[in-house]
Amino acid sequence: METMKPSKLPQMTLRGHDGRDHAIPPARGALLCFVHDGCPTCDLTLPLLERLYRHFGGAFEVVAVGQEAAGNAALIERHRLTLPMLDDSALKLSFACAVEIVPTVILAEPGGAVARRCEGFGRGDWRDLVAQLVARTALRAPEIDWEEFPEARPGCGSRSVEPEIAERLQAEATGRRMGARRLALGAAQDPFEFMFEQGLTDGLPVIPPTPERVARMLAGTRRDPLEVVAIVPPNLTPATVEKVAANAVMAGCRPEYLPVVIAALEAVCNDTFNAHGIMATTAGATPIIVVNGPIRRRLGMNMGIQALGSGFRPNATIGRALKLALRNLGGARPGEIERSALGAAGKFTMCIAEWEERSPWEPLHVERGFGRDESVATVFGLESGSHQMSDHTARTARALGGSFGAFLAASTHPKAYRLGEVLLVISPEHADTFARDKWTKAQIRERILEVSARPARELLPAAEIGEGMSPAMLGLGAAPSAAELDALVMKFRKPENIAMIVAGGEAGKFTAVFGGWFGGSAGSMSVSRRIEEVP
């Protein structure tokens, strides 16, 4: 879509190469020509512009507007220019005038109204410009052999529309404040190595968050860059939208991913989630994001083959951005606050999109009270590595549910019971088995709890298997009766703590299990947040 061209010049002041300040718009009207070094059509145009300056300059402003400080000096020397070369290396005038091509010539009336605008080089356009200058100044026409010039020649791209620069200019023009501290690197410094040296990476290279890249990322949200999204534990650092955007840049996100990252960080920094505990535990827990709603399709998120794996930018970078924010803003660095004994690959990134269209059940966010057409991020604090359960022989929902229960009985440890949450990522083929028998999620949960239940006596520590639960952990007295020891204990505190989504390839009867960490007030429970999309 073509950019709307302004009908009047903005008001500002630019410094000329002669050291004088030049008001825009000039009081007596002006012919402005936007140029930059390296553009052959600008080289064609500037000698002609110089001739017009020498002829009309006493009665009418004729100026070049250069887009690069060093390039301006080069153009002046190359063409021996005496006309004013205004320094627009900040590109504010170019942006305000919607210059997309150089050279762009603007003929402005006194007061700044645009009378004529030309892009590139056209011999007929320039002849008409000269005629208009003659009419305005009552001077005779300069002697120009127009046959020396080509009929037409296309221009070059303006510096103001180059990637990253355009986004920065847009952010500045709309008054979107940016307040993060900026670090200046020496010319010989490698920015990628600098990020490693500063401890700002997760062990893999990150993209340096330049102001231009952060400004471009901020285009993905309508929120003020200085708005505080959350207080990030364990350092309790205020995370502004701008700082979240910087970490999203580092992770490799696109601007349209930013609302998901913001929603996930808001969820993680909720007290119910207990990010401090998740990031400081010696266990392998980590935030796991599940995305629901229309945004999955708009972002091109993967929910089929390799749903938990590599190869898909939205999934990989959204999850990574959240982990980088927890590291760089919250201070959760391995060996410091983060104390996971073993860790897992999921600590780099873990973001899953539910394949709602392939599921026989309500999607996760609808179960949690959101509308089907809302986009939602749910964050779980679970084991960072999944365990894949294979069952290729079960033909009924009851049999497959029994496999689920037997498998989950060993989650965390066969003697670890009364757990908090667990997340099942059910493959389409397994979902089809349940669908054929019209089983609901509630029935699957009941079957899992039935099969995984164990007598309390089997969960006590023993000489042969040291791990186990004390009578107090099982809610028993110091000397429990035989009946109490024979009573069944549920693997999970509540049926609804067994979360289920559908994702993965359509060939292969597998279900992935992300094991639980401590639940309840001392542990972590999942939190959902609506994603605020930009229309």
CATH number of the CATH domain containing 84: 3.40.30.10
Among 19-33, 251-265, 329-343, name the most confident range: 251-265
Q: What is the pLDDT of residue 175?
A: 61
Per-residue pLDDT tens digits for 453-493: 999 999 999 888 989 999 999 989 888 999 999 999 999 99
Residue 73 lies in a domain: yes
pLDDT tier at 2, thresholds 50, 70, 90: very low
Q: Are 430 and 510 in contact (CB under 8 A)?
A: yes
Question: Does the pLDDT value for residue 179 go beyond 90?
Answer: no
pLDDT tier at 1, thresholds 50, 70, 90: very low
257 half-sphere exposure, CB direction, 13 A CA radius: 26
Residue 466 lies in a domain: no
Question: Does the pLDDT value for residue 512 go beyond 70?
Answer: yes
pLDDT tier at 529, thresholds 50, 70, 90: very high
Q: What is the pLDDT of residue 361?
A: 98
Residue 65 lies in a domain: yes
Question: Does the pLDDT value for residue 160 go beyond 60?
Answer: yes
Nearest alpha carbon to residue 348 among 324, 378, 382, 315: 324
Q: How many domains does the chain have?
A: 1
pTM, rounded to two decimals: 0.75
pLDDT tier at 416, thresholds 50, 70, 90: very high
pLDDT tier at 58, thresholds 50, 70, 90: confident
Nearest alpha carbon to residue 35 among 23, 81, 124: 81
In this prediction, residues 513-525 reach a mean pLDDT of 83
In this prediction, residues 177-192 reach a mean pLDDT of 78
In this prediction, residues 506-516 reach a mean pLDDT of 94
Per-residue pLDDT tens digits for 88-100: 999 999 999 999 9
Per-residue pLDDT tens digits for 64-79: 999 999 999 999 999 9
Nearest alpha carbon to residue 431 among 481, 397, 381, 473: 397
In this prediction, residues 374-394 reach a mean pLDDT of 94
Residue 489 lies in a domain: no
Question: Does the pLDDT value for residue 346 go beyond 70?
Answer: yes
Q: Are 418 and 492 in contact (CB under 8 A)?
A: yes
Structure tokens at 38: 């390296």
Nearest alpha carbon to residue 497 among 343, 381, 363: 381
Question: Does the pLDDT value for residue 535 go beyond 80?
Answer: no
Residue 526 lies in a domain: no
Q: What is the pLDDT of residue 109?
A: 92
Residue 111 lies in a domain: yes
Task: State the chain's mean pLDDT as an integer.
Answer: 93
Choice between 280 and 440, residue whose per-residue pLDDT is larger: 440
Range of the domain at 129: 12-162
Residue 46 lies in a domain: yes
Q: What percent of the chain clears pLDDT 90, i.e. is strictly above it?
A: 80
Residue 3 lies in a domain: no
